[in-house]
Amino acid sequence: MSSNVASVASTAASIVADETAQQAARRRTFAIISHPDAGKTTLTEKFLLCGGALSAGAGSVKAKGDRRATTSDWTELERRRGISVTSAVVQFSYRERVLNLLDTPGHGDFSEDTYRVLSAVDAAVMVLDGAKGIEAQTRKLFEVCRNREIPIMTFINKWDRPARDPLELLDEIEDLLVLDPAPVTWPVGDGTRFSGVIDRRSGDFVRFERTAGGATAGDIEVVAAEQAAATEGSCWHEAREAVELLDEAGTELDLKRFEAGELTPVFFGSALTNFGVQLLLDAIVEMAPAPSARLDINDNPRSVESGFSAVVFKVQSNTDPAHRDRIAFLRVCSGRFERGMTITCARTQKTLATKYAHTVVGRDRSTADDAWAGDVIGLVNAADLRVGDALHAVGEPVRWPEVPAFAPSSFRLAYCNDTSKAKQFRSGVRQLDAEGVVQVLRRPEGGESSPILAAVGPLQFDVAEHRLRHEFGAPVEMTPAPWTIARLTDQASAAALSAMSGVTVAARDDGELLALFESPYWLARLQSDNPALVLDRLIGEG
């Protein structure tokens, strides 16, 4: 009898594991990185269009002055400055797969935020403007990808406009990013003569149909090479010659090298006119890795079939102006999430009810009833959660490696200039710290009333100031601070450093101690005079 029960239980467990593995295999979770204006938002819209998640009329959702529908431009600040500060997620299905597209900020000042988002994806698409190539922010964000060892696909966009020589663009990827480009498609013509691409895998010509503003899913016609040679004229022959050169140069697609982050498959197209977007999406489905085992804090892989576990990669307040709320975004790493289940936060050992789990698409929310490895869910009002937290089903403990804080290089001293608002100021600063909007450092003499705000880039201060003022009602004064470089230190070295001139020691909320220096030269000098001091580099130091 008991052996029967055991065998039924083990069969049931293996059915669950099979379903979990199958569901994970259907997922592709990725992000887009690009310099502002390269076309990330337009490409996102066209992905949704291809996936049937937007109607054709919505192809123009991002009409001038109204970037609301698919961008994560949730706050007034983002709209006013035309930058995307927050990170959102959209989920859509395509060819029997479930795609989770996580948004990343386009500006390198938010590269720490990008890094956290990239902790939750399995691949990234790098969008380049065909007329500009690699731009400053592309490079910064790419470095973040490299730090996280994420496989990257490249989409060279805006080919409907005059563009640079495609071979030159490939050289730039190779030289500036030290990444081998492997063109999967090759453009036939550019600007108004851009008519399609050669698919190097088959040699066929993929012809695009022009539709008004690319507002439909975009018809494509596959034409054999011989036929294209007869109909496409000089553009075809030029493109063929370039492809022969590429073949000779050995720029073949090697999926292992792609997964190792050494090689990038390259696609050409135009997001605006919806040329080449579907080919890119097909490649994401076919080439980008599905969710797989994640290493825990002890480097042990936790398979996707294990019990439910997730990582918090983003915490965000007031995403919905109508409700004051706080959403923790989780990426499911293993198992199945079911709304209503009780889960544990590994750091606090507190349990959380998950009645208010949502999938969030821009501003729209719908209830998430279940989710699998690779999916993202938003937990509303999960007040205690912090970026990097591990969550797991009761009895299935796991801890993830810490998400490291980036090296700050800009600093401000913050004060509340209205003493009656001191409480709001303190709680606002704590909130921004928990969300990772800025890093908050405290000196023994400054305490809660004048913390040091530390950032990777100064735009983070604009966001912090705006949010303190408008969300928390705390008017804030920020004065420039003299430091330019920070190092991690320990208690013993902190005591020694505090007695030295030209260095300030401050503590983060997580207990880490940072030594702040006005110049790298002074840091180097102190280090050479006191080699025993612990002064560790932080990630992302430029």
Interacting residues toward ligand G4P by CB under 6 A: 34, 36-42, 62-64, 106, 157-158, 160-161, 270-272
Nearest to 309 by CA among 330, 284, 281, 340: 330
Q: Which is nearer to ligand G4P, 164 or 358 (CB)?
A: 164
**CB-based contact 214:270 (threshold 8 Å):** yes
Q: Which is nearer to ligand G4P, 131 or 287 (CB)?
A: 131
Identity of residue 542:
G
* Helix 422-435, helix 459-470: angle, nearest 10: 130
Q: Which is nearer to ligand G4P, 113 or 180 (CB)?
A: 113
* Helix 166-177, helix 136-148: angle, nearest 10: 50
**CB-based contact 310:373 (threshold 8 Å):** no
Residue for token pair 């063929």 = 240
Distance CA(340)–CA(281), nearest Å, equals: 33
Instruction: Label residue 527 exposed, middle or buried (CB < 10 Å: 0-12, 13-18, 19+).
Output: middle
Give the nearest distance from C-beta 319 to ligand G4P in angstroms.
19
Distance CA(41)–CA(156), nearest Å, equals: 14
Q: Which is nearer to ligand G4P, 60 or 450 (CB)?
A: 60
Give the nearest distance from C-beta 363 to ligand G4P in angstroms.
17
Give the nearest distance from C-beta 128 to ligand G4P in angstroms.
10
Distance CA(405)–CA(95), nearest Å, equals: 38
Q: Which is nearer to ligand G4P, 36 or 475 (CB)?
A: 36
Q: Which is nearer to ligand G4P, 60 or 484 (CB)?
A: 60
**CB-based contact 195:207 (threshold 8 Å):** yes
Nearest to 42 by CA among 70, 19, 23, 20: 70
Give the nearest distance from C-beta 68 to ligand G4P in angstroms.
12
User: Parallel, antiparallel, or unpaired for β 123-129 and 27-34?
Assistant: parallel
Using DSSP, state whether 228 is helix, strand or coil. Answer: helix
Question: Residues 6 or more apart from 15 whose CB is under 8 A from it?
Answer: none
Q: Which is nearer to ligand G4P, 277 or 441 (CB)?
A: 277
Give the nearest distance from C-beta 157 to ligand G4P in angstroms.
5
Distance CA(92)–CA(101), nearest Å, equals: 8
CA-based Rg of the chain, rounded to a whole angstrom? 25
DSSP secondary structure code for residue 38 in this structure: S
Give the nearest distance from C-beta 350 to ligand G4P in angstroms.
38
DSSP 80-100: HHT---S--EEEEEETTEEEE
CA distances (Å), 383 to each of 55, 120, 387, in order? 36, 20, 12
Q: Which is nearer to ligand G4P, 173 or 407 (CB)?
A: 173
Give the nearest distance from C-beta 343 to ligand G4P in angstroms.
34
Give the nearest distance from C-beta 270 to ligand G4P in angstroms.
4
Q: Which is nearer to ligand G4P, 78 or 180 (CB)?
A: 78
* Helix 277-287, helix 40-50: angle, nearest 10: 80
Q: Please give the biggest Cα pair distance in the chain.
A: 80
Give the nearest distance from C-beta 60 to ligand G4P in angstroms.
9
Distance CA(465)–CA(64), nearest Å, equals: 27
Give the nearest distance from C-beta 504 to ligand G4P in angstroms.
38
**CB-based contact 143:38 (threshold 8 Å):** no
Q: Which two tokens stand for residue 279?
A: 């080919």
Q: Which is nearer to ligand G4P, 35 or 386 (CB)?
A: 35
Give the nearest distance from C-beta 40 to ligand G4P in angstroms.
3
Give the nearest distance from C-beta 43 to ligand G4P in angstroms.
7
Give the nearest distance from C-beta 32 to ligand G4P in angstroms.
8
Distance CA(377)–CA(29), nearest Å, equals: 13
Q: Which is nearer to ligand G4P, 271 or 403 (CB)?
A: 271
Using DSSP, state whether 391 is helix, strand or coil. Answer: strand
Q: Which is nearer to ligand G4P, 157 or 493 (CB)?
A: 157
Q: Which is nearer to ligand G4P, 208 or 313 (CB)?
A: 208
